[in-house]
Copies of this chain bind each other. A is one copy, B any other.
Amino acid sequence: MREIRVEDLKDMARGAAVLGTGGGGDPYVGRLLAQEAIRRHGPVPLTDPAGLPDDAVVIPTAFMGAPTVMLEKLPSGQELIAALRALEELIGAKATHTVSIEAGGLNSMIPIAAAAELGLPLVDGDGMGRAFPELQMLLPTLGGIAATPMALADERGNSVGVRTVDNAWAERFARAATIEMGCSAAVSLYVLTGRQVKDFMVHGTITLCRRIGAAIREAAGRHADPVAAAAGTLGGRQVFQGKLVDVERGTSGGFARGAAVLEGLGTDLGTRMTIAFQNENLVARRGDEVVASVPDLVCVLDTDTGEPVTTETLRYGLRVSVVVAPCDPRWRTPEGLKLAGPAYFGYDHAYQPV
């Protein structure tokens, strides 16, 4: 794929929402944004990381906040441009490319919209290979790359620029500003050189999103099992199928937090699975046993259609299947686990790779 066209977006958004593991924003909203921008400005050139000049200036674009809020307050391209321009001003350089910081229904599509609006090529990659709730949880953090200078912008015309001594501080200031902005903000951060993209980002994420999305669509179209198709393309496996019988949720500290309870169906009849989330699905438990946990991927898909179910759309009665898949191997190192393993999120179980 050398460029992204409107007809690619449905598969891409669907696949991105699978990798988003319940977070990373709503694929419908993400697709609409990208679609609008491509219709206005034309297809977006897609650049493989390997083909980037080492001195390229790659500025990621994203939305930060509680996905529950973003469903009600639709982001627009204007905030994205404002955040990127504010960051360009802080660093005194212009972006040559943009890229996703995470895979997710919204945050994989946002950079497509931004690229179209700004006339920039998009890099085929992302910073996590999934979605995570806090902004220091990026593979470039493991490579010593600073999240700041960083800029945030809202739909009113407010913007905030941030320089911090480390990436955990960046998360604190950005989260505080995002909360003031109404729990949703456009953000540009982690300015990367082409060399750094090659070394520290996940390669090929956009292409993978489209493949996952297409596999689900094709399987559903020929009445095959779309969940199995998704699991196969992801390199993961299905661990549960059931019906959603309870969802607890709240918004605190700028995050959507809660847990979903599934009652088993089919071969899982008589058992229960609980999935705890903080924007993203964090831990899946069958009874008391941890089946999968961050940093590995816990994906909830509609059993019939294979469509990914984000944490904000979990609702009573949904028939869903749970697919787990291995994370990028760099997340499994001691440094990776320190940044985004179970202990960071307050769990006391040891990490067991799926």
A residues contacting B by CB (< 8 A) are 86, 90, 156-165, 169, 172-173, 176-177, 179-180
Contacts and interface: CB of A to CB of B under 8 A. Distances in A.
Contact of A165 (B156, B160, B179): B156
Contact of A173 (B157, B160, B169): B160
A321 B215 CA distance: 79
B162 A173 contact: no
A100 to B, nearest CB: 25
Given A161-B90, A161-B161, A156 B173 contact: no
Contacts of A177: 160, 173, 176-177
A-B pairs with lowest CB-CB distance, top 3: A161-B161, A176-B176, A157-B165
A24 to B, nearest CB: 24
B158 A165 contact: yes
A178 to B, nearest CB: 9
Given A172-B180, A176-B176, A177-B176, A160 B158 contact: no
22 contacts: A86-B163, A90-B161, A156-B169, A157-B164, A157-B165, A158-B163, A158-B164, A158-B173, A159-B162, A159-B163, A159-B164, A160-B160, A160-B161, A160-B163, A160-B177, A161-B161, A161-B162, A173-B177, A176-B176, A176-B179, A176-B180, A177-B177
A160 B161 CA distance: 5
A81 to B, nearest CB: 14
A172 B156 CA distance: 14
A164 to B, nearest CB: 5
Copies in the complex: 2
- Residue from A156, A169, A173, A177 with most neighbouring chain B CB atoms (10 Å): A173
A262 B172 CA distance: 41
Nearest to A176: B176
Contacts of A164: 157-159
Contacts of A162: 158-161
A171 to B, nearest CB: 10
A180 B176 CA distance: 8
A158 B170 CA distance: 9
Contacts of A90: 161
Contacts of A161: 90, 160-162
A158 B169 CA distance: 8
A21 to B, nearest CB: 28
A284 to B, nearest CB: 33
A127 to B, nearest CB: 22
A293 to B, nearest CB: 29
Nearest to A165: B157
A27 B157 CA distance: 38
- Residue from A90, A179, A180 with most neighbouring chain B CB atoms (10 Å): A180
A317 to B, nearest CB: 39
Given A156-B165, A156-B169, A159-B163, 6 more contacts: A157-B164, A158-B162, A159-B162, A161-B162, A173-B180, A176-B176
A75 to B, nearest CB: 18
Nearest to A158: B164
A268 to B, nearest CB: 44
Contacts of A158: 162-165, 169, 173
